[in-house]
C-alpha cells in the first residue's frame, strides 16, 4: 500500500503543477482585453494586431532555434490556418471590439469560448455529443446574446459583432492547434504558427507603424508589450504546457475562470464598473459551459443494439 501511494505521488504532483501552470496561462489571457483597451490609447488596431504578432514571432523563433526544433513541413497548411485564426483573426477582431465596448462586457461575451471550442471539436472529429450538450450550446449562446442586448441598451453594437466573430474563429483555431498537438508539443504548435505567419506580421507592422511609440505613455507601451510577449506567446506557452502536464480534461476546466480574471483586472486597472448583473451573467455562462463539457459525449451503445 505504501509503495502504491509513493508511486502515485509523482503523478499527483505533475497534475497539480499542470493546473498551476495552466492557470498562469488563463491569468495572462484574462488580461488581454483590458490591456488592449489601454494600448488603443496610443496605437491603431492594425498595429496592435500585427505588432504584437511580430514581437511574439521573434520570441518563438528564438525558442525554436535554441531548442533546435525541425520544421514540420507536412503540417504547413494546418499551421498557416491556425496562425491566421489565432495570430491575426482573434487579435484584430477583439481589438476592434475594445474600441466600442468595455473589457468587462467582452469578458462575458467571450465566456462562451470553451463551449464553442467543444462544439467545433465535436463537429470536426466526428463525435456524437448528447442532446444535453447541444442544449447547453444553445443556452450559452442565448445567455451571451441576452447579456449583450441588456448591457447595450437593447441593441447589439459593432463591438458585439466583432466579439461573436472572434469567438467563432478562435474556437476553430483552438481545435486545429489541438489536433496538431497530437503530433508535436502544444507550445511548439503556437511557436511554428507564429513563425510561418511572421512574414505577414513583419510587413504589416512596418506599414501600420505610425507614431504610437513617440506619444505613448509608459502604461500604454507596457500594455502593447504585454499583448505581444504575454497574450500572444507566454500565455499559449503556459497553457499548452499545463494541458500536457495535468491532462486536457482536468486543466481545461481552469479556463472557466478566465472571464472572472478579466472582470477583476478591468475593475482594478481600468476602473470599469462590474455590476451584479454582469457577475450573474458571467456565472450563468460558466455553469452552462461546465455542464456542456460534462455532457459532451453520449455513452457509446454496443454494436448490434
Encode the chain in three state secondary structure.
Answer: CHHHHHHHHHHHHHHHHHHHHHHHHHHHHHCHHHHHHHHCCCCCHHHHHHHHHHHHHHHHHHHHHHCCCCCCHHHHHHHHHHHHHHHHHHHHHHHHHCCCCCHHHHHHHHHHHHHHHHHHHHHHHCCCECHHHHHHHHHHHHHHHHHHHHHCCCCCCHHHHHHHHHHHHHHHHHHHHHHHCCCCCHHHHHHHHHHHCHHHHHHHHHHCCCCHHHHCCHHHHHHHHHHHHHHHHHHHHHHHHHHHHHCHHHHHHHHHHHHHHHHHHHHHHHCCCCCHHHHHHHHHHHHHHHHHHHCCECCCCCCCC
| Average pLDDT rounded to a whole number, residues 48-57 | 97
| Nearest partner of 121 among 175, 165, 178, judged by Cα | 175
| pTM for this model (two decimals) | 0.87
Average pLDDT over residues 271-289: 91
Higher pLDDT, 10 or 24: 24
Average pLDDT on 89-101 reads 96
The stretch 44-68 carries a mean pLDDT of 96
Answer whether residue 118 is part of any domain.
Answer: yes
Domain of 50 in residue numbering reads as 14-294
Give the model's pLDDT for residue 300.
42
Strongest mean pLDDT among 102-116, 219-233, 235-249: 219-233
Hunting for cell 514571432 — which residue is that? 57
Domain assignment present for residue 265? The answer is yes
Q: Terminal CA-to-CA distance of the chain, rounded, Å?
A: 42
Q: Please give the pLDDT value at position 257.
A: 86
Q: Is residue 8 part of a domain?
A: no
Nearest to 88 by CA among 213, 232, 184, 185: 232
Instruction: Kindly state the cell numbers that stand for 169.
Output: 474563429
- What's the average model confidence in pLDDT over 109-115? 87
- Structural domain includes residue 159: yes
Q: Is residue 6 part of a domain?
A: no
List 129's β-bridge partners, or say none.
297
The total domain count for the chain is: 1
Q: Is residue 1 part of a domain?
A: no
Given a cut of 80, is residue 22 above it in pLDDT? yes
CB 137 within 8 A of CB 289: no
Mean pLDDT of 9-37: 88
Q: Where does the pLDDT of residue 270 fall: very low under 50, low under 70, confident under 90, or very high at 90 and above? A: very high
Q: Is the pLDDT of residue 299 over 50?
A: no
pLDDT at residue number 297: 57
Instruction: Evaluate whether residue 257 is within a structural domain.
Output: yes
Say if residue 7's pLDDT is above 60: no
In a domain, 5, yes or no: no
Label residue 291 by pLDDT band (50, 70, 90): confident
pLDDT at 168: 93
Among 77-91, 140-154, 245-259, name the most confident range. Answer: 77-91
Q: Indicate the average pLDDT of the chain.
A: 88
- Binned at pLDDT 50, 70 and 90, residue 251 comes out as confident
The average pLDDT across 178-200 equals 91
- Residue 289: its pLDDT value, please? 85
Amino acid at each position: 500500500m505504501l509503495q502504491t501511494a509513493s508511486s502515485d505521488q509523482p503523478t499527483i504532483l505533475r497534475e497539480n503543477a499542470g493546473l498551476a501552470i495552466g492557470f498562469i496561462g488563463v491569468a495572462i489571457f484574462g488580461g488581454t482585453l483590458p490591456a488592449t483597451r489601454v494600448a488603443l490609447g496610443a496605437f491603431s488596431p492594425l498595429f496592435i494586431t500585427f505588432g504584437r504578432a511580430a514581437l511574439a514571432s521573434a520570441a518563438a523563433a528564438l525558442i525554436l532555434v535554441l531548442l533546435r526544433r525541425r520544421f514540420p513541413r507536412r503540417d504547413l497548411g494546418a499551421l498557416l490556418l491556425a496562425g491566421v485564426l489565432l495570430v491575426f483573426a482573434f487579435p484584430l477582431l477583439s481589438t476592434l471590439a475594445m474600441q466600442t465596448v468595455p473589457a468587462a462586457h467582452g469578458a462575458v461575451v467571450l465566456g462562451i469560448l470553451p463551449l464553442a471550442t467543444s462544439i467545433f471539436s465535436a463537429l470536426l472529429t466526428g463525435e456524437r455529443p448528447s442532446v444535453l450538450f447541444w442544449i447547453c450550446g444553445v443556452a450559452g449562446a442565448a445567455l451571451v446574446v441576452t447579456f449583450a442586448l441588456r448591457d447595450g441598451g437593447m441593441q447589439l453594437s459593432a463591438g458585439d459583432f466583432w466579439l461573436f466573430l472572434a469567438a467563432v474563429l478562435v474556437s476553430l483555431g483552438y481545435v486545429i492547434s489541438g489536433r496538431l498537438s497530437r503530433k508535436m508539443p502544444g507550445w511548439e504548435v503556437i511557436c511554428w504558427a507564429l513563425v510561418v505567419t511572421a512574414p505577414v506580421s513583419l510587413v504589416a507592422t512596418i506599414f501600420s507603424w505610425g507614431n504610437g511609440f513617440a506619444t505613448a505613455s509608459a502604461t500604454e507601451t507596457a500594455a502593447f508589450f504585454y499583448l505581444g510577449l504575454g497574450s500572444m506567446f507566454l500565455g499559449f506557452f503556459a497553457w499548452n504546457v499545463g494541458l500536457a502536464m495535468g491532462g486536457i480534461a482536468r486543466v481545461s476546466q481552469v479556463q472557466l475562470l478566465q472571464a472572472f480574471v478579466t472582470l477583476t483586472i478591468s475593475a482594478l486597472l481600468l476602473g470599469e464598473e462590474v455590476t451584479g448583473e454582469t457577475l450573474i451573467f458571467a456565472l450563468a455562462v460558466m455553469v452552462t459551459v461546465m455542464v456542456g463539457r460534462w455532457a459532451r459525449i453520449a455513452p457509446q451503445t454496443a454494436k448490434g443494439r
